[in-house]
């Protein structure tokens, strides 16, 4: 009885990450109340951005140019490379507006259960960048999860044979959080990472 077209649109929208069946239906019905030109504009934006955005050949960031604006910016410090799992992590770091080095996007985390080994990630290109010279510090900023830690451990081994300092961003209590509510692993990392004031 329900409109076939609405069901199809809801199914299509349900393929977006984090959009469940009910949300997809709600979004589909809402979109049908939009002006046709607004729906068309969003549709064209999807295709246009997908077509224009490419992967940076150096750091695997996504942008409209290759090299990406970060790799192409001569004012940035090419002696520092921060390794992140995903492009979204890079964008979060950039919003901070404090880091002036370069990046390397792995494209995921080592996760044997999901069939993701080191060879699925952009690790060989990272080694190639190191061999190219000029990099003095590799900052590991893998996600604070079991998979992120496994990836960082693997990278530490691989990069250990190179003449480069390998650091990792701090694990600890997030600013504004409640110590009493922190999980034990976070507390233990915070204690391990204590610094003299």
Closest CB 135 distance from its own copies, rounded Å? 20
Specify the residue, 69 or 117, whose C-beta has the smaller distance to its own copies: 69
Closest CB 175 distance from its own copies, rounded Å? 18
Helix H or strand E segment including 47: helix 36-52
Closest CB 148 distance from its own copies, rounded Å? 17
Cα–Cα distance, 162 to 158 (Å, whole number): 8
Specify the residue, 44 or 114, whose C-beta has the smaller distance to its own copies: 44
Binding-site ranges for its own copies (CB under 8 A): 1-6, 8-9, 12-13, 15-19, 23, 25-32, 34, 36, 38-53, 61-64, 68-70, 73, 86-88, 91, 94-95
Q: Which residues contact 1 (CB under 8 A, 6 or more apart)?
A: none
Specify the residue, 39 or 124, whose C-beta has the smaller distance to its own copies: 39
Token pair in block for residue 76: 């940035």
Specify the residue, 91 or 128, whose C-beta has the smaller distance to its own copies: 91
Which residues are bridge partners to 84 per DSSP? 105
Q: Which residues contact 128 (CB under 8 A, 6 or more apart)?
A: none
What Cα–Cα distance (Å) separates residue 74 from each residue in 54, 96, 194?
20, 20, 35
């Amino acid at each position: 009885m329900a409109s076939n077209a609405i069901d199809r649109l809801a199914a299509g929208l349900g393929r977006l990450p984090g959009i469940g069946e009910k949300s997809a239906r709600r979004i589909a019905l809402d979109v049908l109340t939009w002006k046709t030109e607004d729906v068309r504009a969003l549709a064209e934006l999807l295709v246009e951005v997908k077509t224009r955005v490419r992967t940076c050949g150096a750091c695997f960031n996504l942008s409209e140019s290759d090299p990406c604006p970060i790799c192409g910016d001569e004012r940035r410090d090419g002696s520092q490379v921060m390794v992140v799992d995903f492009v979204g992590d890079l964008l979060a770091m950039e919003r901070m507006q404090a880091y002036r080095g370069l990046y390397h996007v792995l494209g995921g985390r080592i996760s044997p259960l999901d069939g993701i080994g080191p060879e699925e990630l952009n690790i060989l290109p990272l080694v190639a960048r190191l061999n190219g010279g000029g990099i003095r510090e590799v900052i590991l900023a893998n996600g604070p999860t079991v998979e992120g830690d496994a990836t960082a451990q693997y990278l530490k081994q691989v990069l250990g044979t190179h003449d480069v300092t390998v650091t990792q961003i701090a694990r600890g209590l997030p600013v504004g959080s409640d110590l009493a509510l922190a999980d034990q692993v976070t507390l233990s990392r915070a204690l391990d990472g204590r610094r003299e004031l």
